[in-house]
Amino acid sequence: MKDAVNIFWFRRDLRLEDNAGLWQALQGENPVLPLFIFDKDILDKLEDRDDARVSFIHTEILRLDTELKALGSGLTCYYGKPEEAFEALCTTFDVKMVFTNGDYEPYATLRDASVDAYLKKKGSTLLRFKDQVIFEKSEVVKDDGLPYTVFTPYSRKWKERLKTQGLSSYPSENCLNTLYKWPGGIIPTLAEMNFLPTTITFPKKSVEESILKNYKEQRDLPAVIGTSRLSVHLRFGTVSIRHLVKKAMEAGSEAWLNELIWRDFYHSIIWHFPHAAQSAFRPAYDRIAWRNNTEEFQAWCEGKTGYPIVDAGMRELAATGFMHNRVRMIVASFLTKHLLIDWRWGEAWFARKLLDFDLAANNGGWQWAAGSGCDAAPYFRVFNPALQTEKFDPKAAYIRKWVPEFENPWTYTKPIVEHKMARDRAIATYKKGLESKA
């Protein structure tokens, strides 16, 4: 006779504490079997065998398994397609219910629908809960029920709702006695999944109080450690968004709280406007005649544009899997405006290289820079890299760290495009595309 279990499926929530879906699972009458799936539908599409995100996830899965083993349980881990994993589980166990936390990206929606359909055939149920955001889907909308497409009014309504509703609490760490007692399965190695360990150092998952208190004044200075560097931990849920919102409020850091609200906003946009994941949020911007010069794109990727602040950002990304947010805006503006290269090329490069890659936020940031997104910069706003440097890296400390040769005209790359010409060309190209008829 097969053991009756409920399953908790870890995904973007790699922690035992303050985990909404796990807490719900632990309230049931059946023991909870912890599960993680190394999804081949995702992994097979990755281009780099040393992809830092795979190493990060693998490290966190090993840590999670160790924590579960200390509680007399263990992590069941599969490397394959989700449907195949549940077929195997339903063969071994009497699976009553599967609990998980919601994911709002297009692939996740399709995957969950497929798993849900399979489980229904087996007499089981897939239950999803809100965990990676404070407010999801249509919880923060206009009074007429339509979604917000501008951040400021969205954030205002978000804060009003939080003040009324408060922060939920899911003390899953206090209910772990109902975990299924068994040692779990064998966790595949990186080599068995055809990946190599990364050389990138992962950031810690805590933030100094001084950073939060000085966040507004220092967040735009790439040479200063003035941001939390928690984005990868938020992306994979090794820290709770509720914990961080509470921390921001306790520190009185409105600027940092707003950055957390941007995450919810972009997830809301992807949910309500799924077309934005592949094309311009504003369809008229799909008529822009991009130049898409492959040699110039390669120079941008390698940090060899001859614009020091741009090159510094791209080299930081290559070396660390991270790029300062102000610099992300500068390099994105440069690619889409100075070089007139389709924002999707840059988005795809960031998706490949960023340790904290999140579809909603990455897409939102790139469309903001290109002018095609919701609440985006107008198309005629073209960042001047020199002025951005004067304002945010006036002593060139950030540039010197990543582009030490920039002051030597004999060794540093000549600019691949002249600023004024590129600006004028971009504005004219955008204007022509937006005025043309589809």
Q: Residues 378-389, buried b or exposed e (16+ Cβ, 10 A)?
A: ebeebbbbeebb
One-letter amino acid of 176: L
349 is catalytic: no
Sign of the C-alpha dihedral computed for residues 151, 153, 157 and 160 taken in this order: positive
DSSP H or E stretch at residue 267: helix 254-272
What are 68's two structure tokens?
A: 């579960």
Query: From the candidates 325, 349, 362, 410, which is the catalytic residue?
Result: 325
3-class DSSP assignment, residue 37: strand
Catalytic hit among 182, 262, 293, 384:
262
Check 256, 366, 368, 402 and give the catalytic one. 366
CA distance 338 to 421: 9
> Whole-angstrom Cα distance, residue 13 to residue 185?
19
* DSSP 8-state assignment for residue 147: B
Rg (the chain; Cα; Å): 23
Q: Of the listed 136, 139, 259, 293, which one is catalytic? A: 259
Kindly state the tokens that stand for 438.
């589809």
CA angle 152, 157, 158 (to 5 degrees): 90
| Phi and psi at residue 371, to the nearest 5° | 90, -5
Residue count of the chain, please give it. Answer: 438
Phi/psi of residue 321, each to 5°?
A: 75, 10
Distance CA 141, CA 158 (A): 9
Alpha-carbon distance 386 to 419, whole Å?
9
CA atoms of 189 and 332, how far apart (whole Å): 36
29 is catalytic: no
Active-site entry in 9, 256, 343, 349 = 343
Q: Is 23 annotated in the active site?
A: no
- CA-CA-CA-CA torsion for 266, 267, 270, 273, nearest 10 degrees? -80
Element (H, E) at 94: strand 94-101
Strands 94-101, 76-80: pairing kind: unpaired
Distances (CA, A) of 175 to 170, 206, 239, 315: 10, 24, 18, 45
**Cα 309 to the chain's mean position, in Å?**
23
| Catalytic member of 290, 345, 408, 410 | 290
Residues catalogued as catalytic: 259, 262, 290, 325, 343, 366
